[in-house]
Amino acid sequence: MPNSIQIGRTDNDLAAVTGVGTARTGSPLLGGGINVLTSTAGQTAATLPANASGPIVVRVTGGTAATIFPPVGGAFNGGTADANVSVASAAIAVFYPHPNGIDYTAVELTAA
């Protein structure tokens, strides 16, 4: 049996996403349950959706850390509203949505 980890996803909702800019404005939505985000210098931003129905996984590829934003007004891990988190290059992060529809608990896993 291969090594694996259960993170609460039961589908194969895979999306390829390319980071855009460094701000929320114009950044792509991480719409898949599992997102492969390509991040390059100056093109690092992506935004999580409001009212997600389950955990959202983000795998960062490329040589640059990604900048992930919550939905407008949202926060990560009880922090400041609208503040972003950085996910290291070659790392995987799991974002667990809160019942209010805009906040997330962010967990970055060890770089792959």
CATH number at residue 74: 2.60.120
Give a yes or no: residue 8 inside a domain: no
Give a yes or no: residue 4 inside a domain: no
Give a yes or no: residue 81 inside a domain: yes
How many structural domains is the chain composed of?
1
pLDDT digits (tens, 9 = 90+) for 31-75: 889 999 999 888 999 999 999 999 999 999 988 999 999 999 999
Three-state DSSP class for residue 35: strand
Instruction: Report the distance separating Cα 96 and Cα 107, nearest Å.
Output: 8
Give a yes or no: residue 53 inside a domain: yes
Give a yes or no: residue 72 inside a domain: yes
CA R_g for the chain: 13
pLDDT digits (tens, 9 = 90+) for 72-91: 999 999 999 999 999 999 99
- Domain hosting residue 41, numbered range: 14-109
